[in-house]
Every structure is written in C-alpha cells, then in structure tokens.
Structure 1
C-alpha cells in the first residue's frame, strides 16, 4: 500500500513538472489531459477547459480538443484525475494537514456537471466571456498570483475582481484542509467530462462482495471519500487504486 501511494505521488509530481516545465511551449496548442492553467508562466499545454470555453465564445465545435479528451477518457477514465492532475495532488497534500476532518457525501457530486454545463458552455456562449477561467482558482494560483508578484505593471492593475479570485482560492484551499478533494468531487468540469468514461475505460477494480468483511478500511483510505464496495468504478472513482491491496476483496 505504501509503495502504491509513493508511486502515485511521483506520477502526480511528474504530471506537474511536465505541465509546467517551461521548455516545451510548442505544445501550448495541445490541451493538457489534466487541469492546468494556460496562463501559468511555465505552462506547456493549453487549458482543456479554457479551450472549450474559447470555442463556446466563438460558437464553434472544438473537435480537436474533444478528440483529445475523449481519447484520454476512453483509455483511462478518470485515471488522469488520480494520477497526473496537479490540482488533485495539491488537494491530497493539503488534506494531510493535522486538523479535524469532515465528511461530505458524494451525493452532491452532480454539481460538477452543472458547473460544466453552465460556466463552461452556456454562460460563455451567451456572454462571450470565459467565466469559469475568470473565476478558476487554478488560474489564480498558477498565473494570477505569480504574474502579479513578478510584474509591477500587473500589480498596478489589481482591482476588486482580483481580490474576489483570491478569496475564492483561499476558501477552496481552506476546504482542502478538512475535506477530501472537494474541488474534484463537486466543482471540476474536467472531472465531469471524464466521469462517464469510467463505465467503458479499462482498469476496472474488481470488488468481490462475497469476500468483503465490512471493515471499512478501503472507504477510509479513498481520496474521493467513496463508499468503495458500492461506488468503486463509478462516476466519482479516480482509478487511483489505493483501495486495491488493502484486502482480498479488491483486485
């Protein structure tokens, strides 16, 4: 189990480095398979959600982006969320903080589909503005803050909307101290896109209910706060496989 966690942490770190290593900027026309801000000074890839919004604004169908995301989803389901997404790694890191934890049911996970429909497609289509990107805490963290710190001219332009974004970022990161991956579970539109592919992508976890003792260890260790015997391989599963190896009922 410990070795599996270490390997996944290394993959998450590698995902962050490959997404933000600065030296492969010729890839910026390709959407990143995980959530990463295009405006980050070191970003190598385009933001997949930002790209979808751009096409909603210009009222075109983003065939290339949909093809990339469809291919990733078909091969890995939400595995990209569990293994290479920098935002997922950040949330798991913050959750290690020694504070009292709270449990919030995954019954509210439908909210990320609303975010996808409303903030990524509908509102940008009608307002001609990429509102998810404007509010996204990832953009604030990876681009807004570094750019403001590094350029006095940008700091001079800071107004109330920037501080609103700072507040959103602080609130979400505060939640990450107490809740397991709240952004992934309830907000992330990229996770909403990948979720349905969990039904068809390879890499299923086999759960044998006849061998389950009901100890709950798999559920306690799940980074998505799933009821693992019931929800593994479902729309909220990120294919991290942390539950595998905990007991003989999972493989």
Structure 2
C-alpha cells in the first residue's frame, strides 16, 4: 500500500493535521526537504546504531531516543503522568525530547505535516514502495484542466498535474485527496499485482468524487 499508513493509520499524522489548523501564519516547505527522511533513516537508524556501540557491542536506538516526537507525546508523557517513580527518574534526556517535541509541534502549526515530509524515517521506507505497491494512483493528463485543486489539497505539496512530480512520488502519503477533489476525474485508483504497473484501461477503478 506504499505510504498509506502515514495518512490513514499514524496517530502522529492526525496530530499534525490538527496542529496545522491552528490560526497562525503558514510557511511553505522547499522540496529539498524531501531528502530529510532519508538522511535521518541513513544516519540515525542505520549508521549511528552500527558504528556507535557500548562495551557489549550494542548500538542505541538513536532516532527513538533523541529525535522521535511521537514517542514522547504518545508514550513518554502519558507514562510519566501516571507513574511518579518515572517522573523522579526522568532527566535531561526527557527534557531534550520535550524541547524537540515542542519545536516540531510549532513547525507543524505553520507547515503541513512537517515531520512526515522532512524527518520521519519510517515514512521514507514506506515511500520506497509507492511505485510498486498494490495500490496505484493514475493521472490522465488529457482530462486535466489545470485547476491546481490537487496541488492545493495535497498535504505533501506534490505537483503531478504539470509533470513536475510523479503521482506515485515517494512523498505521496496516499491520502486520496487529489482523487476526491479532482472535478474532471483525471485521477483514478487501480489495484494490481506488486511489481507490475497497472493498466488504467483494464484494471483502473474510477471512483467519482462526491
């Protein structure tokens, strides 16, 4: 399903959507930020745990321990709230995680899904499967009228209507908003075997937006 879990299952994704609704000035994100999740994946998830090890030869979960705001918000804060012993044991590491959580939360208020688009390494892994997943998005440029509704609705700011991006870009979180909002049904869904590009004429399922 590619990055579908990012938009339909991830609790922190919902929190980012709610934060973005705050009535504050908004800032667009440059496309080079899309490299961010792969940098965090390579450095914090692969390189540092392999190279920086303790006396027993084990590495640390660097991303979870020092960066991930989802763990802090969804697990750390509730656990410390309910357990007084954990509150007494919490030190500077937790303070650091709180600072990171606050900073990312503020960023998510002004930029749509900033964490997903610029940091999350799990989303980076899911994104690698977008172009070969069972679920595919199809774009018919002959139907497109250039209204930009798809780009306006897209939380990842993907521009496939003008050929700048692929509709199955690794940045796409499969929210289906482009499919729902297109007034001329230029976007369709298709389902087929993995590793095979679906034929939109034979396998396409065109579900019209309400």
Q: Could you tell me the TM-score, scaled by structure 2's length?
A: 0.79
Query: Who is 2:174 aligned against?
Result: 239
Aligned to 1:130: 61
Rounded to whole Å, the distance in 2 between the matches of 1:191 and 1:134 is 18
Which 5+ residue runs of structure 1 have no aligned equivalent?
1-75
Aligned-residue offset at 1:210: 2.1
Q: Is the 8 A contact 1:106 1:226 kept in 2?
A: no
**How far 1:211 sits from its partner (Å)?**
2.2
The structure with the largest helix share of the pair is 1
Q: Tell me if 1:176 matches 2:108.
A: yes
Task: Tell me, in whole angstroms, the C-alpha distance in 1 between the residues paired with 2:29 and 2:36.
Answer: 13
Aligned to 2:139: 207
Q: Report the secondary structure of 2:89's partner residue.
A: coil
| Superposed displacement of residue 126, structure 1 | 2.0
Matched, 1:189 2:189: no
Instruction: Supply the distance in 2 between the matched residues of 1:243 and 1:126 (Cα, whole angstroms).
Output: 42
2:98 corresponds to which of 143, 147, 166: 166
Match among 84, 89, 108 for residue 152 of structure 1 = 84
Aligned mates of 1:176, 1:86 — CA distance in 2:
14
- Superposed CA deviations along residues 103-139 of structure 1, whole A, max 9, x for unmatched, are 1122221111111111011101122111111021111
Matched, 1:93 2:18: yes
Within 1, Cα distance between the matches of 2:74 and 2:137? Answer: 34
Structure number having the greater strand percentage: 2
Q: So what's the TM-score if we normalise by structure 1?
A: 0.67
Equivalent residue number for residue 35 of structure 2:
110
- Following the alignment from structure 2 to structure 1, what is the Cα–Cα distance between the partners of residues 183 and 72? 41
Give ranges in structure 2 of 5+ residues lacking alignment: 53-58, 189-210
Partners of 1:203 and 1:162 in 2: CA distance: 39
> Matches of 1:111 and 1:99 in 2, distance apart?
24
CA contact (8 A) 1:199 1:233 kept: yes
Q: Deviations over 1:171-190 (max 9, x none)?
A: 11111111111111111111
Q: CA–CA distance in 1 between the matches of 2:22 and 2:124?
A: 27
Could you tell me how far 1:218 is from its partner in structure 2?
A: 1.0
Shift of 1:158: 2.3
Larger Rg: 2
What is the number of equivalent residue pairs in this alignment? 176
Quote the Cα distance in structure 2 between the aligned partners of 1:85 and 1:140: 15
> Is the 1:94–1:177 contact (alpha carbons within 8 Å) kept by the matching residues of 2?
yes
Deviations 1:81-102 (A, max 9, x none): 1211112111112111222211
Question: Is structure 2 residue 45 aligned with structure 1 residue 120?
Answer: yes
